[in-house]
């Protein structure tokens, strides 16, 4: 994760921070500060980080080989001071088969 954090900073994507991690359930809460997509934008009243959701899910899939979904629940554009995402393995979003 430290390597990924440094890479995202060097690419000017944002500053990644893991707030919660349940590695057994493959569920995470993370923030991206200084987000390329929306930091500094005026408040629109709606989330604008759709690209980031897919990007983050793709990163987790690449590292684990499992499918993930990321959903933003705090966004700079809604008045929050950081973008915050919940990341879960897709079967966790859909429930048991």
The model's pTM = 0.85
User: pLDDT 10s per residue in the chain (97 long)?
Assistant: 788 888 888 888 889 999 999 999 999 999 998 877 787 788 888 888 898 999 999 999 998 999 999 999 999 899 888 899 999 999 866 655 4
Sheet holding 83-89, edge to edge: 15-22, 27-33, 83-89, 68-74
- Nearest Cα to Cα of residue 13 among 41, 40, 32: 32
DSSP 26: T
User: How far apart, in whole angstroms, are the C-alpha atoms of residue 59 and residue 61?
Assistant: 5
The whole-number pLDDT of residue 95 equals 55
| Domain covering 2-91 in this structure, CATH number | 3.30.1380.20
What is the Cα 76 distance to its own chain's centre?
A: 13
> What is the dihedral sign for C-alpha 30, 61, 91, 76?
positive
């Amino acid at each position: 994760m430290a390597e990924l954090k440094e890479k995202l900073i060097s690419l000017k994507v944002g500053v990644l921070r893991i707030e919660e991690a349940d590695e057994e359930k493959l569920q995470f809460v993370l923030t991206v500060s200084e987000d390329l997509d929306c930091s500094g934008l005026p408040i629109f009243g709606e989330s604008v980080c759709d690209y980031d959701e897919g990007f983050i899910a793709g990163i987790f899939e690449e590292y684990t080989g499992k499918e993930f979904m990321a959903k933003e629940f705090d966004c700079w554009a809604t008045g929050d001071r950081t973008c915050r995402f919940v990341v879960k393995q897709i079967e966790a979003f859909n429930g048991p088969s």
